[in-house]
Amino acid sequence: MTSELLDQALVEEATKKSGLVWVRAAGAPAARALWHVWHEGAVCLVGDGPGEQPLAGLTDGGSAEVTVRSKDKGGRLVTWRATVSVLGSASPEWEAAVAELKGKRLNAPDGEEMPARWARECRVLRLVPAGSTLALPSGSLAERPVPSPATTRRPAPAALPRLLAGRRRKG
């Protein structure tokens, strides 16, 4: 019993403090990095809509493995099995989860309209810990990024080298 309580405390504390978890749906070849919030004993996720993170493979009643990283060092802290449930947009659970998620969503294009968009176009999931912790995976688990229209790599503007050189001379 003590081991179960320690596992539960480790999962909750580590997951609360980490803004990113690695989630591998049952049968999926690789884990996917997802932002989340810890709310009422579970990880809450939003995605599968335009401009939101993909939640491929996570189905209602399914299972997943969640690996939590250290916010400071980025190393793996704990891996645990979860039961996945989809929250219905009219439910009190959905409202509570969305209130938490809304506060953590960075760079949302629609601000206050975000919950209405999520209700129309996205899925809100709850990943509840199921059982004790798992052994941490060995190896890097590095994978190629999932194809996405989002990118941070664009050609540098032609004037950028001159602008940067000008700052160095002034400073």
- What is the DSSP code string of 39-105? ETTEEEEEESSTTS---TT--TT-EEEEEEE-TTT--EEEEEEEEEEEEPTTSHHHHHHHHHHHHH-
**Res. 46: pLDDT tops 90:** yes
Is the confidence at residue 74, as pLDDT, over 80? Answer: no
Q: What is the DSSP letter of 29?
A: S
Q: Please name the residues in contact with 114: beta carbons below 8 A apart, sequence gap of 6 or more.
A: 102, 105, 108
> pLDDT value at position 22?
92
For residue 1, pLDDT over 70 is answered with no
β-pairing, 20-25 vs 32-35, is: antiparallel
DSSP 144-157: PPPP-S--S--PPP
The pLDDT of residue 142: 72
Q: Provide the domain limits for residue 60.
A: 2-170
Dihedral over Cα of 37, 38, 40, 42: its sign: positive
* Total structural domains within the chain: 1
Distance CA 101, CA 46 (A): 8
- The answer to whether 76 and 68 have CB atoms below 8 angstroms apart is yes
Pair type for strands 42-47 and 32-35: unpaired
The model's confidence at residue 107, banded by pLDDT at 50, 70 and 90, is confident
**DSSP 8-class letter at 158:** T
At 111-144, the pLDDT tens digits run: 889 999 999 999 999 999 998 888 887 777 777 7
| pLDDT of the residue at 86 | 97
Give the CATH number, domain containing residue 54. Answer: 2.30.110.10
Q: How far apart are CA 9 and CA 16, in angstroms?
A: 11
